[in-house]
Each structure stands twice: as structure tokens, then as C-alpha cells.
Amino acid sequence: METRKKILIVDDEQINVEFFDLMLSKLGFVVEKAANGRDALERVKEFTPDLIMLDNIMPKMSGWEVTRILKNDPEYAEWRDVPIIMFSAMDDVKDKIEGFELGVDDYITKPFNFSEVLARLRSVLRNHELIDQLKKRESRIALQEQLNDKLLAYVDLVSKKFLTLCTSPSLPADSEFRAGLDSCQLEYTRLEQKIAELQEEARKLKSREIAVTSLENELRKAYSE
């Protein structure tokens, strides 16, 4: 199974594409190339990259247009979360903020330094991996909560049956039997109280939670400031 990270490089300047292909391949990345935005969209489907390095100013389709399609078009929903680092000859803060709002993860202004590019690339991949793990954990917790709700509903049903049985006049009057029954009722009351306490604590914790998607947006906003 291939474990190396896959990088899609999109730039109409062939010298840039070849340079990054050579350098990143030497560092152990799997590299795919595209010469324009339309070509990039096709490569995304075929290659399923872990990260896209995308030039903004290109013929046929700009980097912004590619980003907008990847992040919003239902046809590309499978690749919506692929992180994007955009190259640009512009150093205008307004343009960069627009890119971040579209879904760009980081910006590198030309002319670039490869050491900086590599550092940013690794940082974006690391952050994306962290967000991905948090999303998986959030999904797992949601499934556990659903299971807990079903178990609690079942316990409540069994408890009601049990309490009905406890008050039945047909039960034996044997003192030892009654003592055991009273002990079960007492334990149930304690359990019920503990469940209520835990549910209240869980409710308080959940009210202070930040959803992973919100956290991701906050991180992107922090990059743009």
C-alpha cells in the first residue's frame, strides 16, 4: 500500500513544474503535474492528491476558479477537503484574503524559496492530518452517543418492567427475597442518579465544544490575518 504523500503541482510555467517535480520526488513525495486549471481538475479525479500546489495566474482557468470548483461543485465533493497551497506573483493582502475565504490553506508569493515552500507544505499536510483525525474522532463520538442513547432507552424500559414486578402482589412474601428485591431497587436508584449526573456533565461539556469544521475555519481565518 502506497504511504507516501501525493502532491499535484499545477503551473503553466514548465520550469517551475519540473523543478518541484525533481525536488519533491527526491524527498519521497509522489508527484503529478498539470499545466492549467482544466487539466488540474481532471488530474484530481485520477490522482486523488493529498495536497495541491496551485498557481493562481494561468490561461483557461485561474487558481481561484479551480479552488472555487473543488470546494463547491458537487462533482468534486470527494476532493473538497484536499488542502491547497497557492502560488502567486501578487503580494496584495486583499487578494490573499479572498483566496483564504475561497478555501486556500496557504499562500506563497513568487519568487519563492524552496526551503520555505517545503516548510509550508509540511505544515499544511500536518494540520490537515490533525483536522482529519479530529473529524474521525468526532464521528466516532457521535456514533457512541447514538449507541448510549439506545442503551439508556433499553435500560429505562427494563427498569420500568422491573419496578412493575417489584410492586406485584403475586410476589413471594419471603423476607430474604424481599430484602434482595429492596437491595436491587436501591442499586437502581443509585444508578439512575449517577446516569443523570453524567448526562448533565456531558451536556455542559458539549455546550463548550467547538465543532471541527468551526475550528478549521478559525485556523484558516488566523492564517489570513
User: Number of structural domains, the chain?
Assistant: 2
1 in any annotated domain: no
Please indicate, yes or no, whether residues 26 and 125 belong to a single structural domain of this protein.
Answer: yes
Cis peptide bond upstream of 111, omega within 30: yes
End-to-end C-alpha distance for the chain, whole angstroms? 39
pTM: 0.69
Distant-in-sequence, close-in-space partners of 114: CB < 8 Å, separation ≥ 6: 19, 23
Please indicate, yes or no, whether residues 114 and 157 belong to a single structural domain of this protein.
Answer: no
Q: What's the domain range around 218?
A: 136-224
Q: Read off the pLDDT band of 215 (50, 70, 90).
A: low
Please indicate, yes or no, whether residues 10 and 95 belong to a single structural domain of this protein.
Answer: yes
Indicate the residue among 133, 152, 170 that finishes a domain. 133
pLDDT in tens, 21-78: 999 999 999 999 999 999 999 999 999 999 999 998 888 888 989 999 999 999 999 9
Please indicate, yes or no, whether residues 35 and 119 belong to a single structural domain of this protein.
Answer: yes
Indicate the residue among 118, 133, 148 that finishes a domain. 133
Please indicate, yes or no, whether residues 175 and 122 belong to a single structural domain of this protein.
Answer: no
Query: Residue 64 sits in a domain of what CATH number?
Result: 3.40.50.2300
pLDDT in tens, 143-178: 888 887 887 788 778 777 777 766 666 666 666 766
Q: Read off the pLDDT band of 224 (50, 70, 90).
A: very low
